[in-house]
Structure 1
Amino acid sequence: MDALIANMVSQVKNGDRDAYEGIVDLFKDKIFQLCYRMTGNRHEAEDLAQEAFLRAYMNIEKYNGEYKFSTWLFRIATNLCIDRLRKKKPDYSLDAEVPGTDGANMYSQLSSKEPLPEETITESEKRMELQAEILKLPEKYRTAILLKYMEDMSLEEISQAMDIPVPTVKTRIHRGREALKKVFQQTAVSK
C-alpha cells in the first residue's frame, strides 16, 4: 500500500491531478472521521477535511517521503482542527435544553431509523457520553486520544503527526485517559 501511495504522490508531483483524486479516495473517510471526532460537528468536519486535502495538494512538493504520506496528511488535518478549535469557543452542549421544547436536550433529538434493543441503546449512550467527554478534554489530550484509539495510530505516528516527542505523546494519552476515567468514576458514584 505504501508503494502505491508513494507512486501516486510522485505522479501528483509530476502534474497528474487524477492521481490526487485516487489519494483523496483512499483517505477521505479517515480524514473526515478524524475531523469529526475532533470538532464534534459534521459540517465543520467536512469543511476541514476538504481544506486538509486542498492544503496537502497545494503543498505536495513539501512532502519528502521521510514519513508515511498518511501521517503527513493526518498532521495537516489535525493542525487545521486544532486551529479551528482555538478560534472557536464551545457554543453548545448536548445536555443543554433545546429552545421551544419542554426540557428536551440534544441527546433526545438524535434520530434512529429503527427501534433498538435496550442493550444497544445503552451502549450507544455510553459512546455518545464518551465522545462528549472527549470533546471536553484539552485539545492536546483530545488529539492524542483520538489518534491512538480512534485512528489506531502508533505512538511514533502520533509523534510525527503532532510534531512532539514520543514520551510527550505517552504523557498526553495517559493524562487524557486519567481525565476521562475520573469523569466516569464521578458519574458512577453520583448514580
Structure 2
Amino acid sequence: MWVVKIGGSLSHDPALRHWLSELSEVGGGRVVIVPGGGDFADKVRQYQGEWRFDDLAAHNMCLLAMTQYALLMQGVSPELVIASSEAKIRRALRDGRVAVWVPTALMRETPDAMSNWDTTSDSLAAWLSTMLNAERLVLVKSCPIAADDPLETLAAAEVVDRKFVDYVSDANYVVELIDKSNVALMRDRLLNTPVM
C-alpha cells in the first residue's frame, strides 16, 4: 500500500486532474490519497487571526479543510472512494479502488501533540502511513524538489512541516517527495514496483 499526499497547492492547478486520473488508473487496490488543506486551511489561519481562537479549534477546522479537499477530489474523479477509517480504507483497496482519506476521526476535544500548526497534512500523512503499515509515502508538492535535499532542509524551508521529520525518523516505509510535474514518474513506479 502506498500513501500519496497531494498538496493543497494543487487545488487550483490543472495538474490535479492528471494526478487523480493517473492514480485512479494505476493505483487501484494500492493507493490511499491524503489531501492537503490548501485554501481551505488558509481560511482557518485567516479566521484564527481575526477571532483569536485557540489551536485546538484551528486543528479541528483544518481536518475539515482536508475533508473539503477530499470531496473536491472525488468531485473531479468520482471513482475515488472517501474513507474516514482504516476499515473503510482497507475495504476500498480490497475492492480494487483508490481511497481518499478524510481525517475526521482525529478531531479532538482536548489539545494533544497534533493539535497545532507545526503538524500539518504532511505529518498526518506520515502518521497514517505508520498506522496502515504502508510500503511508501509520497508527498506531491507544487515546488521543485531536488532528489538529494535532506528532509531537515526541506522542513527548514517550510516545504514540509516542522514535525514531519520526527514522524518519519523511524519509518519502516520509503519516504519520497516529488513535484507535481513528475506524474509520469509516479505512474512508472506504481507499474514497476512489485506489490508486497
Q: Do both proteins adopt the same fold according to a TM-score greater than 0.5, normalized to the shorter chain?
A: no
Relative to its length, the structure with more strand (as a share) is 2
Relative to its length, the structure with more helix (as a share) is 1
Which one scores higher on RCO, CA 8 angstroms, separation ≥ 6?
Answer: 2
- Rg comparison, structure with higher value: 1
Question: Which of the five TM-score ranges fits, normalised by the shorter chain?
Answer: under 0.3
